[in-house]
Amino acid sequence: MKITSANFLTSSPDLERCPESELQEFAFIGRSNVGKSSLINLLAGRKDLAKVSSTPGATRLINFFVMNQGWMLVDLPGYGYAKVKKDSRQQFQRAVSDYLAQREQLSCVFVLVDSRLTPQAIDLDFCDWLAVGGIPFVLIFTKTDKSKAGKVKANVEKFLEALSERVEGEPRYFMSSTKTGKGRGEILDFVDQVLKA
């Protein structure tokens, strides 16, 4: 799929204030600093669509972008950022879980995982939560240019193995690098397939 337009629509603090729209939504989520904003910019082919933030946890709203006037890219707040005050943390966690569990337009969640790391409980727990809720998700292992290919492969395998102990079936997964553009074509083609299904 070629991206011909990518436009910011709105930011919503909670599910109730998400936009009325009939477009299918593809949501992106992961730990702060996993490379979510960079990946969204790569997919959109824009340098500054999602702000590549140097202050992790700063983005606490659900951000909606209309792609090709035909689908919605949804940028969800990063999880697992401990320095946010407890009240506001609970507030945005509820917004995200409400959105994921109840948003009817949601077609698929892209869970971003840092390919440099061995399996992290927070990512596994989140995938487990999605699976239990019957929320469709796929994985994107990010920053693959930052480690040797062998290490990336080992981390991916370990993650899938750890996940298989908790979740039935192996999720589809992609590898990405915003430095080389790796993954862009495959991820957009996947979105295209879901839209056409």
Ligand X SMILES: Nc1nc2c(ncn2[C@@H]2O[C@H](COP(=O)(O)OP(=O)(O)O)[C@@H](O)[C@H]2O)c(=O)[nH]1
- List contacts with ligand X (CB under 6 A): 30, 32-38, 52-53, 56, 78, 142-143, 145-146, 177-179
In the bound state with ligand X, the residue whose beta carbon lies nearer, of 117 and 195, is: 117
CB of 39 to Mg ion, least distance (A): 9
**Contacted by 166, from ligand X, Mg ion, none: CB < 5 to 8 Å by type:** none
In the bound state with Mg ion, the residue whose beta carbon lies nearer, of 10 and 53, is: 53
Q: Which strand ranges, in their side-by-side order, compose the sheet holding 25-30? A: 6-12, 62-67, 71-75, 25-30, 106-114, 137-142, 173-175
CB of 52 to Mg ion, least distance (A): 6
**Distances from the Cα of 124 to the Cαs of 121, 128, 130, 145, 159, in angstroms?**
5, 6, 10, 23, 8
In the bound state with ligand X, the residue whose beta carbon lies nearer, of 100 and 176, is: 176
Amino acid at 127: C
CA distance 120 to 139: 14
Task: Name the residues that contact Mg ion, by CB under 5 A.
Answer: 37, 53
